[in-house]
Every structure is written in C-alpha cells, then in structure tokens.
Amino acid sequence: MGAMSMRFHSEGGAGEVTGSKHVLSIDGARCLIDCGAFQGKRDEAEKKNRDLVPDPESIASVILTHAHFDHCGMLPLLAKRGYRGNIYATPATRDLAGVVMMDSAAIQARDAEYLGKQAAKRGSTFEWKPLYDEEDVIRATGQFVTVSYNRPMPIGDGIKVELYDAGHILGSAMAYTHARDRSGREVTIAFTGDLGRKGKPIIRDPAILPAMDYLVLEATYGDRLHESTEDAMDKLADIVNQAAARGGKVVIPAFAIERTQELVFYFHLLVDQKRIPEIPIWVDSPMAINATSIFQIHPECYDEEIHEAFVRHHENPFGFNSLHFSASVQDSKRLNDYQGPAVIISADGMCEAGRIQHHLIHTISDPSSTILLVGYMAADTLGRRIRDRENEVRIHGEVFKVRARIEEINAFSAHADYRETWDWMSSLDLSRLKRVFLVHGEAAGLEHLEKFLGEKGIKDVRIVKKGERYEL
C-alpha cells in the first residue's frame, strides 16, 4: 500500500500468446484483467497454471474481456484459491465462458481418471490432481456481474470500466478503464483483450475507443497479414462445389466457439444464394451445439447483416433445411457410414482430440474427400501434420495414408493483423496517448509491431515483460 500509486504489470500473456493475466494496481488495490490458462507443452503449462497469481483473496476486482480459454480458463482456480469478488464481463461472455470452463473441468476429470488407471496398471501411485472441478466452475460462474457494452460501471474504489466491442468473438470486449488515486490524479487505460477484425460475420467491428492515456495492445499477428475476410465465402463455395462434383465429403476441423457458427452462417448464405448445392451439412460437436444456442440468445451482439436476417425477417441464421446437428455418439457414428457428398464440421480445431479424429479416420485416405483447414495449427499437432501434407499420419495409434485433398482458407482469423491493428488505432484520438504496452504475442510479432508503430509515429511503445512493474 503506502504512497499513492498507479501501476500496471502482467502475470501472463506477456511475451507469449496464452495465460493472459494483466494487473492494474491503484493505491495497492489490484484489478485483474483476464485470468487465462497457459497452453502448450503439458508439464510447463501445468506448472505455470498452478502458480496463478499471488494472494488471490486480496484481489479487488476482475474484468474478463472474452470467453477464450487462454483468457478465462483459470477463473475457477482463482475462485478455488479464495477470490470472492466480482468478475465483470458482457452477458454473452459469461454464458460462453461457462461452457468453456465446464468443458475444461470435464477434460481434467477424464485425464485424472485415465492417468490413474494407467498408473495402477504399472503398479505405481498417481499424484496428479485436476486444477479445478465442476464445483469450482459453478462457484466462479456465480461471481459474474454482467455489464452490457457501453454502460460505464464503477467496479471499486477509484476505478470505473466501460466495455466496447472488440470484434473478436461473440461477447468480446475491450476494457476502457478510468482510475483515480487518493491524490485525485486520473488516468485512463484501455485493454484491447484480443483485438478482432472488420467485416467478420455475425459480430460488430472493433469499436472506436475514447482517447486514453495508456493502451495495452495485443500482438498475436504483429508480424503477419491475413487474406481478406471477403474472399472467404468465394473460396468456401469453390471447395464445396468441387467436392460435391466428385461425390466426396468435406471435413472441416473447427473450434466449437465462433469458427463453427461463422461457417454455419456462411453456408446458410451460400445455400440461400444457390451458390452451393443442398448437400447435408453436419455440425458434429456437443460443445459447438451448446455454443450455437448461446449465439442464438444474444442478438445484442449482432452486426447489421445478421440483425436484418434474424430480427427483422425472423430467420434463424444458425439453422436451415440442409443443416443438421449431431449431439449423440450414435448420430456421430451414423455419419461415418453416410455415402455421398456432405460437409462435416467437427472439433477439436487442431484435430488433437474429439470426434474430428473419427471423421479423419474415415476420410483421410479417400481421394474423393477434402480436408478443409480454417484455423491456426500449432506445431506438433495432427492438424499441423495434415497442413504440412505429410504422406501418412497416425490417428488413434494407427497409420493412415493421406490421399484426401487438403485445402486451406486463412481468411477466418479472429485477430487483427498488424495493418488492421494500425487501421483501428489510427482511427482513435491519440492526442493524450503516453505509451502503448504490447502483450499477447511471441517475440517476432511483438518486435515487428513495436517497430511498425514506431514508424507510424507512436513514440513510446513498450514490450511488456512478465512481472515487471510499470508506473502510470
């Protein structure tokens, strides 16, 4: 405590793209922005996740920018370790985060059971315990206080937050915070969370923020440029038409939240406009089905296009004649025997687990089938091996020759690239801006964005080091 002070530091998501945890300290009271999970190499991620943040019980408040696991995944552990305060987020983020956190608790419980059995077989003891369970998820979910976009909200002594559209996933927000210390000094700090892109379907574009003193900016694609979002539909139509002509299936590994609903929305438009034939389109992922029903109950997040279709014309953008959802394992298995052209969207997005693996087993050696990759594939994943066109891949311990066509569409990214980041930034009033803090990026992206913003005339750009304290 002691002297009056305003500070910023990161406990995660600094110099890396997972584990987002940023801390604003005002006269010693801490506000945590996001409490995400570290992902990557299992043992390393596990250790970092267990470290969490010091003294969770004395944190004053938490803001959650959006429902991705690397931003919300450790909230149940925070609650388990004694945090009893509020978690501020948009209503859609609260709902989606509930699904994401519960899914993680279920996966951890399954892992613990499996590893326990394996250890028993070897006659050894088993010590690993899940980081949290379903009870912790329920506790954390009960601590949410939802705040709609553009409703300024006091969240503690001397601190106020207003959430703005981030254009990243449903419910995603930038947190514009206003802080005042005991001496009466006032500072505004804006956190982008994950900054989205213009022109994404379903959700609105990133909002124009009011002028700020400090900007905490993500840099996931700080050194890359994407394909335009407008090309996505044309490519999708081409790939489906070619596969239909060959009588083959199109299998699309996709993350259950946002990417799947985007694809469904695009397919709906393509069918309506008769740009693809009415072949069956299956969404085969229980989590994607849950997430889709959450999309349906949050019209307050929609952009004009989907608002027009859904609210004015009472159409359901996430449901149409040729679209089917398969929730049960039996449905999923029946799909494997289906003959003829079809589209199958399934999770996990990087093919590392889940029903997508069964679909790949049935299609990857079939030259009439197409595997369509629409997301980022991390190193050492099955998805990456398919993308790298390896001749054969191992799935469930068995080797399969890769004979299906492998196609890619890179226009679906949910993160702004560096040019889009600047397009957004340069539309803001930067007259008061003192410094940009760069977070949520790997070294190459951070360094490139630092240089790029410098060339655009931003004088003070700082790559945030984990644990380092910055006076505001």
Question: Can you give the binding site for Zn ion, defined by CB under 5 A?
Answer: 68, 194
Q: How far is the CB of 206 from Zn ion (least distance, A)?
A: 13
Q: How far is the CB of 168 from Zn ion (least distance, A)?
A: 6
Give the nearer residue to Zn ion in terms of CB position, either 9 or 68. 68
What whole-number distance in Å separates Cα of residue 403 and Cα of residue 107? 32
Give the nearer residue to Zn ion in terms of CB position, either 220 or 332. 220
Give the nearer residue to Zn ion in terms of CB position, either 95 or 194. 194
Q: How far is the CB of 113 from Zn ion (least distance, A)?
A: 30
Q: How far is the CB of 169 from Zn ion (least distance, A)?
A: 6
Give the nearer residue to Zn ion in terms of CB position, either 136 or 194. 194
Give the nearer residue to Zn ion in terms of CB position, either 199 or 280. 199
What whole-number distance in Å separates Cα of residue 416 and Cα of residue 229? 11
Q: How far is the CB of 194 from Zn ion (least distance, A)?
A: 4
Q: How far is the CB of 412 from Zn ion (least distance, A)?
A: 13
Reduce the secondary structure of the chain to three states and give it as a string: CCCCCEEEEEEECCCCCCCCEEEEEECCEEEEECCCCCCCCHHHHHHHHHHCCCCHHHCCEEECCCCCHHHHCCHHHHHHCCCCCCEEECHHHHHHHHHHHHHHHHHHHHHHHHHHHHHHHHCCCCCCCCCCCHHHHHHHHCCEEECCCCCCEEEECCEEEEEEECCCCCCCEEEEEEEECCCCCEEEEEECCCCCCCCCCCECCCCCCCCCCEEEEECCECCCCCCCCCHHHHHHHHHHHHHHHHCCEEEEECCCCCHHHHHHHHHHHHHHCCCCCCCCEEEECHHHHHHHHHHHCCHHHECHHHHHHHHHCCCCCCCCCCEEECCCHHHHHHHHHCCCCEEEEECCCCCCCCCHHHHHHHHCCCCCCEEEECCCCCCCCHHHHHHCCCCEEEECCEEEECCCEEEECCCCCCCCEHHHHHHHHCCCCCCCCCEEEEECCCHHHHHHHHHHHHHCCCCCEEECCCCCCEEC
Give the nearer residue to Zn ion in terms of CB position, either 326 or 413. 413
Q: How far is the CB of 43 from Zn ion (least distance, A)?
A: 24
Q: How far is the CB of 47 from Zn ion (least distance, A)?
A: 23
Give the nearer residue to Zn ion in terms of CB position, either 197 or 249. 197
Q: How far is the CB of 414 from Zn ion (least distance, A)?
A: 6
Give the nearer residue to Zn ion in terms of CB position, either 68 or 200. 68
Give the nearer residue to Zn ion in terms of CB position, either 171 or 253. 171
